[in-house]
Chains A and B, each alone.
Chain A
């Protein structure tokens, strides 16, 4: 077998060496990790800090719709919202990207031009149960239609069966099919279950060349949680310390309130550090979160809560 990771060549020379490397990573104590996440969630973010965090959170959103019922009309409306989340306030930042299925990519691109990123799920999302050929075609399709970010899913079955090399090879192949588009690797932590698995899958994805590691598809419960994100933030922090390369993190699914979003940003700030507090390095995969952030933003500006009729429904 050839060496696949330029960063840690020894780890990827063979399947056994890769497996040894991953199982040699420090374990995660569940109780301790959850306690740390809970303590960070007690941070009190007020006034100027809150205003800053809300704008930052808006600018980090991958505004997402991944439904069988998606239509060009619905997707166009969402794209318009991502460009101008609050039509009444030009100082409101735009979202980071719009995230859709591959067949909707060109529709989004028509609306946003090059003003926003267009992200597409691919690789037989959400289960990933298809042949590698199909996954690569799916990816190439999305890129050809104009996606500059690809959200792939890992083969959780292969990972849980211990075939870590297969998972790695697949990510490498998809990364190649991305042809320069940013690759976000979805771990689907709700199916990996243990924090040890989350840490190992995070390193596996980073070794394979992921630009981002992402918690969840949003189709499996639990999706993103604070402790899972904590473990992933520790992974990107440690990976940069070991290799010099910075990898981003995307928390997706289940983050609905501004309060939750601020808690994630506190965690990014205190676990990974300041360098990750930027849409290039941290994202929220969300849909309803945006409106709650907008409501809170309006409240800070006007001193009063407006209500759901004062943000757009899309």
Chain B
């Protein structure tokens, strides 16, 4: 046989998602028009086609949503026994599972991520988060935060575009489990699954006002987090915006948790299981097109295996399938927005300019939409911008080290500290490294593994507060 084994297109059907042409704001259990009648479009980043028109919430809308949340907190959700709240959370989790395919397709359409990831990673984790926190709702007195912990009140939550529905789950599930009510703003480029989630709240008969969804951009988020009626602010996004939020809230009595950027080191020792390490490197930086705050964007590889690892890595990268996010065989999807693509290009260009050597996987980029081929830079030093700044794209900087001490020093030599990876077959070295790495999560012989029972959060400029597990309750209890 002479032809090659070419995989035929295997697209997931988008007919399963029934999108409206326009969406209002979800306030007090109902979709309502915005006070100012301003709107914006959300597009499919793989094709640039408009998916829906979305309302831009202004200050009046924020006020209405916070008022609804306050009322729901005082009248319905706050006083409700934990085991009753749990029933709603379980119901939401089950509905998410039932509507799994639809939500996965919507997520891939709006975000550009491959359906394989939205289907096999994002959605299962969304359901798992609601199930996990549903279990906590009636056991809060056993969580280690005192004998009778109380909710904080109204929570203003602002989430990013990289894992739209998953970040929503990380924020809403613990808040609701603890008896708080929520006003949540999804990112302006990925509002759709949050709006579908609003429908799920209706479907679950969640009391009106417990969850409110306001779409909009930075100004909406700013109005929300600074609103006087908000007791607790939870933000996930860039360090720049996180810093601005912290500044604007300084001196208020609002509680704040921030989950910000990262520049994680993925440390590969010479005795590592190299083929699996290569998988971990690929998963660490090319998962979700590198739009991951805890991405392993700096590869620190021991000099003695540098060439071997690089040869294996390039061969593996050459097999990555970039293209239509809805194709079930796609490994790397579209960059989420033109702005993000511009930033990735700009930072990569500084890599060239500063003398690092660029290599990109040989793949054809589609004509429409926003795309960037999986790329690595060799000859990178700690001083290069691509080794210091978060690129938030499929770009890996490769550095080397000679000793474990040097590996730790280089890994920690960053203003960030969200995650790190260690690859070695030596158990004692894993523990030695984990004790010294200044990062909220240290993965050993794996990367980008998430579990609702495991706390997640940063050191230094990667933020403060923890999400997930028992620790994730703390921000929502007083």
Which chain A residues have a beta carbon within 8 Å of chain B's beta carbons?
26-29, 31-33, 35-36, 42-50, 52-53, 55-56, 59, 234, 241, 265, 269-270, 274, 277-278
A43 to B3, CA, bound (A): 19
B227 at the interface (CB under 8 A from A): no
Give, as a whole number of angstroms, the nearest-CB distance from A21 to chain B: 15
**A32 touching B273 by the CB < 8 A rule?**
yes
B203 at the interface (CB under 8 A from A): no
A270 to B321, CA, bound (A): 11
B50 at the interface (CB under 8 A from A): no
Which chain B residues have a beta carbon within 8 Å of chain A's beta carbons?
1, 3-10, 116, 120, 271-276, 279-280, 311, 319, 328-329, 425, 445-446
A260 to B120, CA, bound (A): 20
**A265 touching B5 by the CB < 8 A rule?**
yes
Question: Which residues of B have CB within 8 Å of A47?
Answer: 8
Give, as a whole number of angstroms, the nearest-CB distance from B16 to chain A: 16
Within the complex, which residue of A32, A50, A56, A241 is in contact with B8, where a contact is CB–CB below 8 Å? A50
**A49 touching B6 by the CB < 8 A rule?**
yes
**B5 touching A274 by the CB < 8 A rule?**
yes
Give, as a whole number of angstroms, the nearest-CB distance from B420 to chain A: 17
Decide yes or no: A269 and B273 within 8 Å by CB, A35-B279, A42-B116, A44-B328 being known contacts. no
Question: Which residues of A have CB within 8 Å of B9?
Answer: 46
Question: Which residues of B have CB within 8 Å of A28?
Answer: 273, 275-276
Question: Which residues of A have CB within 8 Å of B445?
Answer: 29, 31-32
CB-defined A-B contacts under 8 Å, sample of 30: A26-B272, A27-B271, A27-B272, A27-B273, A28-B273, A28-B275, A29-B273, A29-B276, A29-B425, A29-B445, A32-B275, A32-B276, A32-B446, A35-B279, A36-B275, A42-B116, A42-B120, A42-B328, A43-B7, A45-B8, A46-B10, A48-B8, A49-B8, A52-B5, A52-B6, A234-B275, A241-B311, A274-B4, A274-B5, A277-B4
**A278 touching B1 by the CB < 8 A rule?**
yes
**B1 touching A44 by the CB < 8 A rule?**
no
Within the complex, which residue of B3, B274, B276 is in contact with A52, where a contact is CB–CB below 8 Å? B3
Question: Which residues of A have CB within 8 Å of B4?
Answer: 274, 277
- What is the interface of chain A mostly: helix, strand, loop, or mixed? helix
Give, as a whole number of angstroms, the nearest-CB distance from A118 to chain B: 22
**B7 touching A49 by the CB < 8 A rule?**
yes
**A46 touching B8 by the CB < 8 A rule?**
yes
Question: Which residues of B have CB within 8 Å of A270?
Answer: 319
Question: Which residues of A have CB within 8 Å of B319?
Answer: 270
A27 to B329, CA, bound (A): 29
Within the complex, which residue of A45, A46, A59, A241 is in contact with B1, where a contact is CB–CB below 8 Å? A59
A32 to B448, CA, bound (A): 13
Give, as a whole number of angstroms, the nearest-CB distance from A284 to chain B: 15
A50 to B272, CA, bound (A): 36
Give, as a whole number of angstroms, the nearest-CB distance from B305 to chain A: 9
Question: Which residues of B have CB within 8 Å of A274?
Answer: 4-5
What is the chain B residue whose CB lies nearest that of A47? B8
A274 to B10, CA, bound (A): 21
**Which 5 residue pairs across A and B have the least CB separation, nearest first?**
A32-B276, A44-B10, A29-B273, A29-B276, A44-B328
A59 to B5, CA, bound (A): 14
Question: Which residues of B have CB within 8 Å of A36?
Answer: 275-276, 279
